[in-house]
Structure 1
């Protein structure tokens, strides 16, 4: 660490120096210098000493000529103990909770002296009953408040001398030994300390300047400045400085941070911030490394209250490994584009526009040197969606949707694009329904709809993204659908629905196939031009609901159990459409003198595929179950028993193909969930059971498994999973916070919002997290002893079993957790980890630590093992205006794939 001390000090000095140089041109040079005058009125502690000083000071004889008065407003004054007028001195004395109001200016103090001869007012504090200096003056003008030890103010010149003043401007607290008020917009101060700490009298750090020019609401321009930490002077100093004070966003330079990495010494994340308007901004950042690598980033946030809000970000990196001329030299570039847009629901009820874009190079999150978000690195899929929807009211109602979608696998580098997708749908029309009253019977319930889906789909890879080859292989198509259905009841308890559907599919090109004996392969010719095919089907279903109830008595703990069953039987017919199939001849590979006919459809490979050739007639069976119980409430004052769910939506489903020649019965699917903690923990499970046996090659055969010496059913796969989150707020009645996609960095990039893979880390090593200690100070102050320890835990368990081909193995089995605990006020520890039981290894792990140092913050994150092994340490000032004053140290993960 000793070898890094010069670098650390250089980093601090470099940062402060740039902040001065970049803003020095804003210092006013045309102000009139004020000649310093020795003030005969010094701050006093005792009121008798004050009166003595005033009498000694007034040595000039009273002039018989009356001076003109320049008071432009009425002076109102009050005091609690007394108001005494001295005709000899022509002065007024106000004692104890004294107050003067002159226009928009108010002075409050323990003792106020008004000199009518000089048109001046003096304000001091007084001693209380135990000898403490109290009721110090408070000078208020408009919305600005100054709290000094004493004040001297002249009504004519509107100038003032203030001693030991304390004031707050923007994020700064300013304390000056002597302040001269030139006017209501310019102050000159001597021996000043300013800080973002809340306690200006005993701050954690402060900047000390001997003389400054203070323009409230705009800036502080100072002479020689030194930085003090814990009242200890540091060698960090500047000959002059500039500190902006505006609360509004203003354009300005972003100071880069200095460091070193495997790419050499660097200046990181420097640039310029553009405050374009109250609704939109733009941030431009760039980094440069001494081996030639560079990065740049453009990001913008925009918002219009009650209408919309969003943000956009574009990142680009050009990285060089090693040096030019060396055998291991290589270069690579990557980019990432993000855009999130949400529209307020009240902005336009009939139309909506939304966007969630995350696309770029597949290797960006693995190789990026500008972020270390482990959750994004472990995410294998990038997806985007930009959509616009419009509803046209009326009878029937028409809904229009236009969307562009993107899906990208970062491992295989496959990209699927839909540019665009058009969907048009019309609400149900009941042509035989009565004009008033409910619809009854099969005829009155006859209804039809219309829907259109048109799409332009492209499948490509990273290397061909937005190149001519990608557009050349695009598949364009449209599908029209007109379903006609009705529903009615028979025998009062059975619900019957039946219908038919007509579909017409349009494509922009088809594919002809032929056999070429020279190359001994199939040749595919693309036939451009419009083509179409039409299909239809028929379906019917019948179902009911059966209730079962078992009462055990009101004196029992479990008073009753209810079983709800919903059986359903469906029937589907799908005709075969042979007319859309052709055949070509080829040599039979099994013989030498035979010709084989191969059937194909020219619609194979189009957007919606070829129509079904085989006729199918199948029966579907399903049964849904719910078990509920009435139990005696633990609350003895409750009048009704409590209802709980024992088994939720436990379903069994299968189908039987009447037209099949073998393997007619599909596997039986089981699904369900067991509620453990209401609205907190549900155990979800699923399984597939097959009645058919396997041959020696582990292929299904048309023979029951029980006839082959096995059990009635063969378990082919199963799964169990649950997630559970709980915290100290659950025991305090607190509300759970919702995840905002626009605010959560990991979620916005396509990762998990629950931090099971760890919290995201920014370019400077800071954890992407809201202030975890926000609001805790009020909790500590509201009670004499704070015995609460805030904590939160999230668990996720998953197990998958596979036995389709006699594997009889657990293919995936893991448990993951994420937790945070505040061991002491302003100290928080967190960990994200898990264990892969199948591979006997620890899942991606992150340890983190956060410390609130009042005006400073400190964070440390550590990935202790794995190919993303790294750590980040950061300490900086929390206030945004001084966020560039920081120290960060890190070990970056291996960026190579």
Structure 2
């Protein structure tokens, strides 16, 4: 409607006014053409509640208001009851004045991260200035919860609104530990150096004298590489000096992850995943139930180069492994490898017609070298008869190289493709820098190990001919929901001959007072069981099977009702029979295996090693098979393992939300640029599970059980020791109510019937806040943690935290 005398334009309903980059939407709009002032108001019902509000958008800023009065000429406007969101922050103002495109002054402002019309909490200030997407500054402010003001005031407020990283201090946690005293944890400063680098410096301080420091850096160059480096040092002092339970130590840990974008330099890759440090470091971290039981640590650094349209590959690597329980550290560096992929020297450049058999003759090359050193970080080198550290490394260091030339021939399938024949020839050399000899010590009644340094070459060759096929069998049922069962067998047969090119390196030594002895290869010290030669003419055989079933489902009809299910995904064995040995020709270790998935939920894997020979009265193997002598037996199980695991959960309350979450995770994991960030996030999630609670899943349960055992030859060759490991891991959660969740995890040593660790967590979803209670009641390090914090990352420093540690059993 247009009022001509007053030159005013009135708009009603769902109106939209566009002027340059400004958009105004409101149920009622009044425009004065003489002054270029527009007045927009909301619509209300009979009770005065808002039906439709007025909204105003300019650039990246959008406001929702009760009334808007704006001058298009001066770009100055007045609003009432204004709502505007800046990143994670929602600003609510009773009155607001927009003085230019980016600046707004607000009277009676409320600052919050709770995105509701009536937020659960806010910070209230009489005056505030907001600069879009940069910052907000206020005068004296106080918090308000559920409309109740809290009489705690700050003289002014400074609120960063810009997105991205910002330098600043990190809020510490106040904790108490009965062995460390009162402490501040995670004191630190975060510094953004530039778009590619940022650094975090942190520290822990305890009243009993323990302290720790950490330095972390992350870097990223898009489409080239990314990674992160962290160094931790801890000077541990527990209890008071002079007390009988006083302990002190200095430990460190370094971690480094690096990944190169494959698009940066095609054909060249470099990656690093380093986790190394003192073997006692994991036990020095307070409040972590899982870390003290992680006894195995490892690292790897790899560089590789491939040549385009060439069969060459080159790689360099450095690896590290350590056993924290034993205090043993192994380093292998540098290691190198050069490979020539299989080439076909007799193949025609232009393939026309049927290929000749000799054109399928392929030759390759594999070469590598290695350097190994080992030491114990628990020894006092240079004292008590122990060699100085560097002398110890020189004496235990070893190097070597391997060269292998495989020759293959790809013959066409025979019998209509039912049988595949694969001949092969291989020659390899092993270069070592020391020999290992065993010698019986009559005075000490034990076997001594002697080493002799130099350069020694071990040669090996082998000839093989393999046969592979597949057999199918099916049994059909009548008048049954089970339609058929199919059995697939894949038998394998191979003939091989291996001459003993280094017969002069085979040695014999006595190993006990009865005169029993063994043969061994001094090139590496490998024991030759029940033989004096490495010459072999073997028939290798085995079979792999799977068993599947087809049935008719009750839930569907027609073709959709026909379902397939795998009963056994794989089961079989492998063995060999050496025709050239004078005794004990059947292989002494026959591997057996079976794997399946039950009900599409439970994963089962089992394996065992079968020894088919009988034992004498002293427990030594004799040349007599287990089923000979009147008793039927397949043999002795000398090693085996069983693992059973399942992960079940309820359907998500909001399937769309769950699907979106899954897709986002897949995209992040598949992006090579974000690989290092994802690894650090996973580590943080493992250490802080309370901060990642999913109320969209009502319940979830993860159970895994493992049992393994093996027979280990004693160092003095006096017999075998059988070692068992038997453990179970549990992890689960369920919603007590739509807003309360109980979760926990545990690890049980079934052999000892001992709980290794147990964690119990209770979480409460407070909409814009979250509450978590985490208890570790069992284990060497026990703790209690209570945290209430905002969900928004912008206000994480406002969390209320109470942590207490208890150490000892």
TM-score normalised by the chain length of structure 2: 0.83
1:116 CA displacement: 6.6
- 1:486-885 equivalences in 2 (<5 Å): 486-488=409-411, 494-507=419-432, 527=453, 531-552=456-477, 556-578=480-502, 581=505, 603-604=523-524, 614-634=534-554, 635-638=556-559, 641-665=562-586, 666-678=588-600, 680-707=601-628, 710-716=631-637, 717-729=639-651, 742=676, 760-762=686-688, 767=690, 769=692, 772-773=694-695, 776=696, 790-800=698-708, 811-833=724-746, 836-842=749-755, 844-885=757-798
Distance 1:706 1:623 in 2: 21
Superposed, which structure 2 residues align to 1:24-423 within 5 Å?
82-87=1-6, 101-112=18-29, 120-128=37-45, 132=49, 135-154=52-71, 157-199=74-116, 201-262=117-178, 263-324=180-241, 328-369=245-286, 372-394=287-309, 397-423=311-337
Distance 2:329 2:272 in 1: 19
Separation of aligned partners in 1, 2:402 and 2:720: 41
What CA deviation, in whole Å up to 9, does each residue of 1:765-816 have, x standing for no partner? x6353x514xx5xxxxxxxxxxxx6332222233447799999999455544
* Structure-2 change in CA distance of 1:109 and 1:570 (3 Å): closer
Paired with 1:727 and 1:408, the residues of 2 have a C-alpha distance of 36
Question: In the superposition, relative to structure 1, how do residues 220 and 561 fare at CA in structure 2: closer, same or farther (>3 Å)?
Answer: closer
SS in 1 for 2:291: helix
Counterpart-to-counterpart distance in 1, 2:687 and 2:703? 22
Superposition RMSD in Å: 4.4
5+ residue gaps, structure 1, are: 1-81, 607-611, 752-758, 777-788
Cα offset for 1:694? 2.3
On the 8 A contact 1:760/1:767 being kept in 2, the answer is no
Measure how far apart 1:225 and its partner are: 1.4
Aligned-partner Cα distance in 2 for 1:642–1:102:
62
What is the match of residue 369 of structure 2? 454
1:746 and 1:579 map into 2 onto residues whose CA distance is: 52
Write out per-residue CA displacement over residues 559-603 of structure 1, whole angstroms, 9 at most, x where no aligned residue: 33333323333333333345654989x999989xx9xx9999774
The total of aligned residue pairs comes to 772
Aligned mates of 1:153, 1:889 — CA distance in 2 = 50
In structure 1, distance between residues paired with 2:26 and 2:149: 34
Give the SS at the match of 1:366: helix
Q: What CA distance in whole angstroms lies between the structure 1 residues aligned with 2:15 and 2:27? A: 6
2:283 aligned counterpart, secondary structure? helix
Partners of 1:470 and 1:621 in 2: CA distance: 46
Distance 1:825 1:363, change over 3 A: same
Tell me which residue corresponds to 1:7: none
- Give the 3 Å change call, closer, same or farther, for CA 456–110 of structure 1 in structure 2: same
Q: Distance in 1 between matches of 2:513 and 2:9?
A: 123
Partners of 2:490 and 2:35 in 1: CA distance: 96
How far residue 153 of structure 1 moved from its aligned partner, in angstroms, is: 4.0
* Distance (Å, rounded) in 1 between the aligned partners of 2:443 and 2:734: 73
Judge conservation of contact 2:17–2:24 (CA < 8 Å) in 1: yes
5+ residue gaps in structure 2?
382-387, 527-531, 670-674, 714-718
318-327 or 284-293: which moved more?
Answer: 318-327
Residue 77 of structure 1 corresponds to: none
**Contact 2:424–2:463 (8 Å) recurs in 1:** yes
Q: CA deviation at 1:486?
A: 2.6
Which structure shows the higher strand fraction?
2
Tell me the CA shift for residue 86 of structure 1.
Answer: 4.3
Counterpart in 1 of 2:716?
none
Inter-partner Cα distance in structure 1 for 2:652 and 2:540: 44
Q: Secondary structure at the match of 2:700?
A: strand
Deviates more, 1:686-695 or 1:240-249: 686-695
In 2, Cα distance between equivalents of 1:797 and 1:869: 24
**Equivalent residue for 1:889, pick from 795, 802, 805:** 802
Alpha carbons of structure 1 residues 697 and 748: separation in structure 2 relative to 1, 3 Å: farther
Offset at residue 226 of structure 1 (A): 0.9
Q: Secondary structure at the match of 1:281?
A: strand
1:481 and 2:404 are equivalent in the alignment: yes
**Could you state the TM-score of these two structures normalised by the residue count of structure 1?**
0.75
Distance in 1 between residues matched to 2:154 and 2:206, nearest whole Å: 27
Alpha-carbon spacing, 1:344–1:677, altered in 2? closer, same or farther (3 Å): farther
* Distance of 2:181 and 2:456 partners within structure 1: 60
